[in-house]
């Protein structure tokens, strides 16, 4: 058995609980098994990735409802696949401006490479560079809104809620600081998780999975702070 504090009430904190997000995974007595399963699914192209996405949506929903432990069980692969597919659709729609701009930038690069003179080639290179910079900025904007559209989808499992742009923009105005903190912390987590490369390519799979779990906890916290849901007591997971 393990001890852990209940998730704090929303009125008790001014920002999301970063420490809780970083440490909660390791409080589950079965965390190693669950992380290993998730890491192994990474090696199954497309289907495995969608299942992982659905699993993380379940985790976001748990946290949004005030329960972060125990971690979701790997007992709903079919449901996770469907949820992951919905998450993929929502993510692609939000990323459409970035995708379109990336295609245009790639086309400019190809035109520049095929140009016969230096002037058109230089112009294409400048435009391609500007396009890449704009793509990066747009990617940051999408990442800024991710906690909102993914958590809406996680709670209701309706694609339309993940694409409710007006409602999401309204929510963002009231949670700007939280969203900015989550964006920065998620970036740091991704950098730390990449150190799994030092363990070898296999190691980065598992550290990245843990990193995504931490980030999803932050997403769930943002949703819980918006809805004002209070934490509920939960039972510890059984031992291995």
168 found inside a domain: yes
Q: Identify the domain containing residue 50 by its residue range.
A: 10-227
CA angle in degrees (0–180, nearest 5) for 143-28-64: 40
Is the distance from CB of 49 to CB of 84 less than 8 angstroms?
Answer: yes
* Average pLDDT of span 52-56: 97
> Quick one: pLDDT band at residue 237, thresholds 50, 70, 90?
very low
3 found inside a domain: no
> Percent of the chain beyond pLDDT 90?
62
234 found inside a domain: no
> DSSP characters for 28-43?
STTHHHHHHHHHHHTT
Predicted confidence (pLDDT) per residue in 94-129, tens digit: 999 999 988 888 777 666 666 556 667 777 777 778
Give the rounded distance of the alpha carbon of 120 from its chain centre: 40
Number of folded domains that form the chain: 1
5 found inside a domain: no
């Amino acid at each position: 058995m393990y001890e852990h504090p209940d998730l704090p009430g929303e009125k008790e904190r001014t920002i999301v609980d970063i420490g809780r997000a970083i440490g909660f995974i390791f409080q589950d007595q079965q965390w190693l098994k669950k992380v290993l399963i998730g890491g192994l699914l990474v090696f199954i192209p497309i289907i495995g990735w969608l299942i992982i996405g659905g699993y993380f949506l379940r985790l976001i929903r748990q946290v949004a409802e005030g329960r972060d432990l125990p971690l979701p069980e790997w007992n709903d692969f079919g449901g996770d696949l469907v949820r992951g597919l919905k998450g993929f659709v929502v993510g692609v729609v939000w990323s459409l401006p970035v995708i379109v701009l990336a295609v245009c930038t790639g086309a400019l690069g190809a035109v520049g490479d095929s140009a016969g003179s230096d002037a058109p080639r230089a112009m294409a290179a400048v435009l391609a560079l500007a396009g890449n910079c704009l793509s990066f900025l747009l990617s940051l904007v999408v990442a800024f809104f991710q906690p909102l559209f993914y958590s809406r989808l996680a709670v209701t499992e309706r694609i339309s809620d993940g694409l409710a742009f007006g409602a999401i923009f309204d929510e963002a105005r009231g949670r700007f600081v939280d969203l900015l903190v989550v964006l920065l912390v998620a970036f740091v987590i991704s950098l730390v998780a990449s150190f799994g490369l030092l363990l070898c390519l296999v190691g980065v799979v598992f550290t990245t999975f843990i990193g995504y779990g931490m980030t999803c906890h932050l997403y769930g916290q943002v949703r819980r702070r918006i809805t004002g849901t209070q934490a509920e007591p939960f039972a510890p997971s059984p031992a291995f």
